[in-house]
Amino acid sequence: MMAAVVMVMVAAAPTADAAPLVAAPAATLAWGLYVDPQLPAARWVAAHPQDTRAAAIRTSIGRQPMAHWFTGTSDADLGKAVTRYTAAAKTAGKMPVLVAYNLPLRDACGAESAGGAASPAAYRKWITTFATAIGSRPAIVILEPDALGDFSCMTTAQVTARLGLLNAATTVLAAKAPNTWTYIDAGHANWNSPAIVAKRLLSAGVARTRGFAVNVSNYIGTADSRTYAKQVKAALHRPAGYVIDTSRNGNGSNGQWCNPSGRKLGKRSTADPAALELWIKNPGNSDGGCGIAPTSKAGDFSPTLAQRLITGT
């Protein structure tokens, strides 16, 4: 099922589930979402045109709009990479989706994606470069997946430092990338309670952003994710938009988070600002050396994983 391509108007009037926490930037239009030809699935297909899986992966994943993840190690020159990506999207008249994923002590509990900036100072420099490179071009940014979920593995001082860095990130994105809709990651429905997440979002500076994201890189169904998002929004006691990651939730969750079997591609990304459902995780990219891809590192593209997400096996 092809998702309808609709107009995203960043200056659009707010709706009940998409009201911005800050005034939406004016006079910015983009038709549909940007399809990045350099994301892992598309690159794999280009390099393996004779593989029997290539046609299905090209159609079902490689040609679909999804987020481009920027980490401390993803690009040799972050500023040039972000500029190139957002400029290409603007030239195409499309809306790019970016993930900023580089906080110190990243993935403190799961460890499969452990890493991040070496210090708070390094992160402040990195996120400033990221935001400055976006500049005035329109964009959607998902800010720091898992950042508010894994406090149980951190000390009080580390939590305080993290919240300070998230506040710094939301501040610099609002100042340097004024036509960006930023969504702070809020975890998923099976992690923390809406009240806890709302408190953490407020402490992280959600008031400077469009809102929050749920189910990033997870498998929980859209209906359950939307119920959870609405509960978080109610607990915030202030206007908030939200985004649901639908990339791999077609069969819902079986309770496992790391390359579980039997999962399936979810509803393709839509550009409807009133109900943003986006492929944030890139389908086919491994969650880590676990589950049905025990030899794949986190973030590596696996055609086997991609094929199984297509078939739901």
**Is 245 annotated as catalytic?**
no
The closest alpha carbon to 292, from 267, 312, 266, 272, belongs to: 312
How far apart CA 119 and CA 232 sit, in angstroms, is: 30
Cβ-based neighbours of 43, under 8 Å, separated by 6 or more: 301
Q: Is 92 exposed, middle or buried (0-12, 13-18, 19+ CB in 10 A)?
A: middle
List the domain boundaries for the chain: 19-311
Tokens of 72: 């401390």
**0.75 exceeded by pTM:** yes
Angle, nearest 10°, between helix axes 40-47 and 303-311? 110
Residue 29 has a pLDDT of: 35
Give the angle subtended at the CA of 116 by the CAs of 112 and 118, to the nearest 5°: 135
CATH number for the domain whose boundaries are 19-311: 3.20.20.40
Instruction: Name the more confident of 273 and 61.
Output: 61
How far apart CA 243 and CA 18 sit, in angstroms, is: 9
Tokens of 299: 């973030």
Residue 278 confidence (pLDDT) above 70 = yes
Residue 111 confidence (pLDDT) above 80 = no
Tokens of 88: 């290409």
Instruction: Categorize the per-residue pLDDT at 14 as very low, low, confident or very high, splitting at 50, 70 and 90.
Output: very low
Residue 147 has a pLDDT of: 95
Bridge-based pairing state of the strands 211-214 and 241-245? parallel
CB 251 within 8 A of CB 242: no
For the segment 138-159, the average pLDDT, to the nearest whole number, is 93
Give counts: helices (H), strands (E), the chain: 8, 9
Compute the Cα dihedral for 213, 280, 76, 180 and give only its sign.
Answer: negative
Q: Is 145 exposed, middle or buried (0-12, 13-18, 19+ CB in 10 A)?
A: buried
Active-site residue (options: 146, 224, 245, 287): 146
The closest alpha carbon to 71, from 41, 32, 113, belongs to: 113
The closest alpha carbon to 63, from 268, 250, 222, belongs to: 268
Residue 21 confidence (pLDDT) above 80 = no
Average pLDDT, the chain: 89
Give the 3-state secondary structure percentages of the chain, helix then strand then coil, rounded to 5.
35, 15, 50
Residue 8 has a pLDDT of: 38
CB 17 within 8 A of CB 274: yes
Instruction: Name the more confident of 118 and 272.
Output: 118
